[in-house]
Chain A
Amino acid sequence: MIVFAALNFELAEDHFSPGIDQRSIVGSVTLSADCREFLKTEKAQKYIEDGVIPSDGIILEESQYSLHEGDSAFTVLKSALNENNVLFDYTNVSEHSVYVKGISNVYEYDGGDLSGWMYSVNGVFPTAACSEYILENGDEVRWMYTCDLGRDIGDTYYDTAPNVGDSQ
């Protein structure tokens, strides 16, 4: 039992029905997640046939989620996905930085070498890790799958930033 508790062992039903969040609600944010760019790749057909992703590529419709105190782009995504029974996978890159590897079984590198999940807040692509970006009331968070380092979903970081690719 102690081992189970330490490893946080949960069955699927328990996982998708989490307890009530004790933190105070400070507002609300809009959140959506889509993998439209992934649909253009060869693999997408199998994913749609298997029922892993919907045929329009929208995993989470744009909708309102309550914002708790200290919520980051990651924690809001996590609770939204759990609420909608969607699987996802992440790693802790460092103590406080989380990297989202895959949402609904669409993983990084599934759409090529330059693919993976990115997020934008109010149309801007932050350069911080999603768990370090603390959201404010009324923010609009969009999680998007890119197949080209963000260029195909509107991020201009790699086109405008100087010295990209230089070792510093």
Chain B
Amino acid sequence: MRRRCILDRSHPLTLLIWYISMITITVIILDPIITLSSLIMGTIHIILVNGKPTPSFALRCVLFASAAALLNPLFSHHGVTVLFFLRGLPITLEALLFGAEMSAAACAALMWCASLSIFMTSDKITMLFGSVMPRLAVLLSLTLRFIPLIREKHRNILIAQRGLRSDSEEKRSIKFYAAVYSALVSQILEDSIEMSDSMRSRGIRLKGRSFYSDFRLRSCDVVMISLSIVMMSMIVFLRANGAADFSFYPTVSPVRFTGGSCVLYLAFIVIGIMCYF
């Protein structure tokens, strides 16, 4: 399934830059066209990568979005189109639409984050931050390794303890689980001492230590990174010069397809679909 886009074969740096540009544009530029295209691209992306979402997941998304959309008018009374008054304050159509826009943007961003968690595996994170923040990278890799390790150990100890005791009553007592967890904790502590000793003896704190990583910056990574950066800076430049300046207050402005705005929308779509080539 994942072979359908190049993200799983991409360099971690490519992933980082690509996801940063997708998510920041989706969240910061609150323009209906940007949000709608992000939402559509995100849905297609998730379906291609992860298969069809379950109905309950889709329902949860819709519920979250509509709740967020309906809450905004209660707190924001900006806007000229009054629907009705609550407690003396106007509930406006503009606030409702702005709430819908915001929740749609949040949903789109959540989709990209879901995709991020699929492709940005722990080894890629470690590789990215290893040379910049070596201690954090070591800590992160140790912690990420520890979680499955602890689960496995816990299972083994549980089996061993059950085998040791014949009385079925005792297997559910607090005393039994206390014994299991005490064994687990002491094993973990012992392991971490051993690990730190072994790492020190291998020279973890020596100067000039190099990092090994399996990832090579290939030509398609270079193309993707440079295209992302070019499109991103184009979007920032156009936005600063008044393109896609959609506003909800005091009245909802019409969507204007000026030259600058069209280029901005196109640049965003180019970033979004370039992972399929």
Contact = CB atoms under 8 A, between A and B. Distances in A.
B85 A15 contact: yes
B250 A105 contact: yes
A102 B76 CA distance: 11
B78 interface: yes
Nearest to A105: B250
Nearest to B89: A89
Contacts of B253: 46
Interface stretch (A5-13, A22-30, A31-39, A141-149): A5-13
B78 A7 contact: no
B247 interface: yes
A52 B251 contact: yes
Contacts of B249: 105
B84 interface: yes
Chain A interface size, as a band, is 10 to 19
A65 interface: no
Contacts of B79: 105
A105 B89 CA distance: 12
Contact of B77 (A9, A51, A89): A89
A87 B90 contact: yes
A47 interface: yes
Contacts of A14: 85
Contacts of B86: 7-10
B88 interface: yes
Contacts of B77: 87, 89, 102
Interface of A: 7-12, 14-15, 46-47, 50-52, 87, 89-90, 102, 105, 107
Interface of B: 77-80, 82, 84-90, 247, 249-251, 253
14 contacts: A7-B87, A8-B87, A9-B85, A11-B85, A12-B85, A15-B85, A52-B250, A52-B251, A87-B77, A89-B77, A89-B78, A102-B77, A102-B78, A105-B78
Given A50-B80, A52-B250, 4 more contacts: A8-B88, A10-B85, A11-B85, A105-B80
